[in-house]
Structure 1
Amino acid sequence: MPHSDSPTRITVISASMGAGHDGAATELTRHLTATGFLVDRHDFLDLLPARVGKLLSGAYLRLLTWAPAGYQRLYAATEHERRPNPAVRALLRGAERRTLATVTPDTRAVVSTYPGASQVLGALRLRGRLAIPALTYLTDFSVHSLWVAPGIDAHLAAHAIPAAQAHEQGAAGVTVTGPMTDPRFTPADEDERRAARTRFGLPPDTPLALLVAGSWGVGPVREAAAEILGTGVALPVVVCGRNHALAERLRADGIAHVHGWVDDMPGLMHACDVLVQNAGGLTSLEALAGGLPVVSYRCIPGHGQTNAAALDEAGLAPWIREPDQLAPTLTELLHGPRGRAQREAGLALFTAVPGPVPAVKAMARGPLSATTIPPRRRPVAARPAVALDVSGLPTGAPADALAGVPSDALRSVPVEALHLPVAARFAARSRQARRRTVLMVAAVAATLSLGIGAPLAYAYGESPGHHFGALTHYLEDDDR
């Protein structure tokens, strides 16, 4: 064990799948470094064998862009699966050696902000190959089953709703820690608002709706921009990320204020009055930290829709499902009490709990163990009561880990109180074998036709098709 005066080293593993996972990892790294930790950052896509990470990222983008309905089916087919399919398990096993290599002898904990990395870390913990705690920081407001990996010591959530969903999926050490964002995302006063509008060339007095679609600019953005403009309630200001073609099309559509990649997002949010988003990721949290009301509209499939449902249920962002609700909802958020209430709720999200650093600190300074015991997956009715420690420290953390934490911050929320409608929908569902077979065949055809190949075909059945046997064998043997 390192000397007590030595800085504690922590490994953070993210993935460059869009910007959300990396953004969370960046803020976690900044917060940990500010409190005296040494942090090593790694991209999980670089740890996958045979440069499959680049293929996987491209496959994800192609599905979202070319076949959103296919991605919706993929997501729904795997949303409540107990474990990844054999094909994806073989793929992840190929990353184990490189993942272990990121953990130096003086590392005291590993934190994942990407579900694939969590699956690898959990497997290593279960087999005793990783002797330090492994934690997952949930970057989404909804929890897909791939986020929950047996062997992970703690799952850290931004809010009670994703915490309850993770618990329903059998996650260990579920802890409500609150979110993290860049400290530049703060509410703007009138002078800052006026200066930001001048800087971005925006009209000084017109209500502005900031429309975002992630770093890749995916989803029906053109339709959303036209519909916001058509309401007459607000002028759309669109951020297209790295999608230059989308920016050109929007300008051709007559949208006056279109941006590509924006380095000063805090400033642009200061200039605007409401955020319209379609994925429920990091940008939504940044807007809430900046005091902007948030609305979900024309959401992308899969996590975009489940995140929208969770944010709506939390009272943090209404999910507009029909175009005729866009104008009245924007009006309420811009000019009515609903907007003020949502601003207050969003800001409170960042002050109620201290963030994930205390939880990571508690794990990193606790005793080492070669293995962990994962929770048994049982029906919710049979599961004993579990407490979620909303102070940011896992229940049962070592006593010395609590030093410096205010006593009034140590409080627990019974998990039964968090069984809200979204979480309740995570009850086990049976599926007909014939439907699964048809879905698998359709997925194989779709992924091959899109040039995606095997990495995403795991979603469609209990075992990979014979077309993927050679790849599975290769990935299992790679890097051994």
Structure 2
Amino acid sequence: MSKKRVLILSEGFGNGHTQAGHALAAGIKKLYPDTKTKVMELGSFLNPIIAPWILSAYRVTVNTSPALVGMLYRKKYEKPVGRLTRLALHKMFYQHASQVIGQLKPDVIICTHPIPNAVIARLKASGLRVPLFTLITDYDAHGSWISPEVDQYLVSTPEVKELLLQRGVCPDAVRVTGIPVHPNFWSIQDKASARSELGIKQMPTVLVMGGGWGLLFKEELIDKLVAWRNRVQIVYCTGSNEKLAEKLRACPAMQHENITVIGHTQEVSKWMDASDILITKPGGMTCTEGLAKGIPMLFFESIPGQEEKNREYFVSHGFGMELSSPELIDQWFHSITEPSQSTLIYDKVSPLYQPDCCAKDVISLLRKPSVQAKLEYAYL
């Protein structure tokens, strides 16, 4: 097969969308090294001054008014991106996005966020002939993902496929690929060796993630966690939120040899391998990475909307439990310190989930005669 060019477009509303794009790009490069991939956050690239303000406002809303986020999600749940919104995006991005595509000449454009998806769909309605694949990065299908110009939907589960079919999407246009994770998550390392490489103790270990936006600093949760610090090793991963990391490190209750606070790290895969339990917000990417690693998950404070849907999927399929009360921590921590007495039983890995599937399917779709025919005339 001749060398292919894959352009992946995302936005920074939450880390998962862009993370999924980079994971897919890395998976494609691993399996098909000759393929050229490029990942871009479209808004940040085309509007580097305005985009940070919009993202900042979104973060503030998520932190201070999560109920509002949920209300808007539900209100627009069945609706595609509206005509006026598409027109506004068209005015903001049309010329620049069209120029970028013309310069890069991708064989396929894959969107991992509804905003660039709407922009490219509008370009296709105006004559762009490059195939558009839409990668839905959650375990739900909000109406904003759906556009008639999309050539192929890549979705997480058969349930999400069914949601699209109920909204009139052609069955042939939907493929269950799973959400892509970085190739680092395609295999599982022995716990003992992972702990040794990370320089932590050989003892029951809990990884706490999802604090990148400061949503995990809850005194009640911390008090319940540190009560186990003599029997359980606790690792807090705050991502890019250095203020939260400093706050945690300064907390007197956290001053213990069995408690570790880390910020941004490229070793999330290894930290998951080293851990027995993952406590996290149910973002689509983190949950999928946990699924790939076969680690039981406790879900903490879901943002209303897609995170609630993610949590419902993983709980209903036996991959974790909602942390509905701090007392559940006692039950779960007891299960890893006294496993012979534990009554908690969770499936390890979904038989339907293959972490390399999405990358393989993208390349196989590019080989389809119908896609090849479109590519022959895309840049004439």
Asked if TM exceeds 0.5, the reply is: yes
- Aligned partners of 1:47 and 1:95 also within 8 Å: no
Q: How does 1:9-88 map to 2 (within 5 A)?
A: 9-34=5-30, 35=32, 36-46=34-44, 51-84=49-82, 86-87=84-85
Sort the Cα spacing of 1:221 and 1:243 in 2 relative to 1 into closer, same or farther, 3 A: farther
User: Quick one: distance in 2 between partners of 1:195 and 1:28?
Assistant: 29
Going from structure 1 to structure 2, the CA distance change for 1:39 and 1:203 (only over 3 Å counts) comes to closer
Partner secondary structure for residue 258 of structure 1: strand
Change (3 A) 1:257 1:353: closer
Residues in 1 aligned to 2:90 and 2:240: alpha-carbon distance in whole angstroms: 28
Q: Which residue of 1 aligns with 2:189?
A: 188
Aligned residues: 359
Q: Secondary structure at the match of 2:154?
A: strand
Is contact 2:211-2:241 (8 Å) kept?
no
Counterparts of 2:275 and 2:111 in 1: how far apart (Å)? 33
Select between 53-62 and 329-338 the one with higher mean Cα deviation. 329-338
Give SS of 1:42's match. strand
Separation of aligned partners in 2, 1:343 and 1:224: 25
Give 1:403-422 correspondences, 5 Å limit: none
Q: CA deviation at 1:77?
A: 2.4
In the TM superposition, what are the counterparts of 1:154-193 in structure 2 within 5 Å? 154-172=152-170, 173-185=173-185, 186-193=187-194
SS at match of 1:209: strand
Instruction: Determine the C-alpha separation between the residues in 1 that align with 2:26 and 2:144.
Output: 26
1:112 matched to which residue of 2? 111
Shift of 1:365: 4.6
Looking at structure 2, the residues matched to 89 and 219 of structure 1 have their Cα atoms a distance apart, in angstroms, of 38
3-state SS of paired residue (1:102) = helix
Sort the Cα spacing of 1:84 and 1:113 in 2 relative to 1 into closer, same or farther, 3 A. Answer: same
Q: 2:264 aligned to 261, 264, 267, which one?
A: 261
After superposition, where does 1:322-333 map in structure 2 within 5 Å?
Answer: 322-329=325-332, 331=334
Residue 144 of structure 1 deviates from its aligned partner by 2.1
Q: Tell me, in whole angstroms, the C-alpha distance in 1 between the residues paired with 2:192 and 2:367.
A: 44
Distance verdict in 2 for CA 1:87–1:117, change over 3 Å = closer
Residues 63/195 of structure 1: CA separation in 2 closer, same or farther (3 Å cut): same
Aligned mates of 2:253, 2:216 — CA distance in 1 = 19
**Hey, what does 1:466 align to over in structure 2?**
none
Summarize the Cα distance change of 1:94–1:80 in structure 2 as closer, same or farther, 3 Å threshold: same
Change (3 A) 1:266 1:44: same
Q: How far apart are 1:88 and its partner, in Å?
A: 6.2
Q: Is the 8 A contact 1:156 1:176 kept in 2?
A: yes
Given candidates 275, 288, 296, the residue that maps to 1:285 is 288
Alpha-carbon spacing, 1:48–1:144, altered in 2? closer, same or farther (3 Å)? farther
Equivalent position to 2:215, from 196, 209, 218: 218
Q: CA deviation at 1:246?
A: 1.8
For residues 362 and 37 of structure 1, what CA distance do their matches in structure 2 show? Answer: 14
* Structure-2 separation of matches of 1:221 and 1:41: 35
| SS of aligned partner of 1:254 | helix
Change (3 A) 1:169 1:253: farther
* In structure 1, C-alpha distance between the alignment counterparts of 2:178 and 2:57, rounded to whole Å: 31
- In the TM superposition, what whole-angstrom CA distance separates every residue of 1:103-124 from its partner, at most 9, and x where no partner exists? 2374321111111111112222
User: CA 1:17–1:328 in 2, change beyond 3 Å: closer, same or farther?
Assistant: same
Counterpart-to-counterpart distance in 2, 1:303 and 1:352: 21
Query: Which of 4, 10, 13 is the aligned partner of 1:8?
Result: 4
Question: Is the CA contact (8 Å cut-off) linking 2:66 and 2:304 kept in structure 1?
Answer: yes
SS of residue in 1 equivalent to 2:178:
coil
- Tell me the SS of whatever aligns to 1:131: coil
CA change 1:331–1:104 in 2 (3 A) is farther
Conserved 8 A contact 1:210-1:275: yes
After the TM superposition, which residues 395-434 of structure 1 pair with which residues of structure 2 at under 5 Å, given as runs? none
Q: Is the 8 A contact 1:224 1:298 kept in 2?
A: no
Letter in 1 for 2:14: G
Q: Deviations over 1:205-230 (max 9, x none)?
A: 2x222111154343555543333334
**Secondary structure of residue in 2 paired with 1:279:** coil
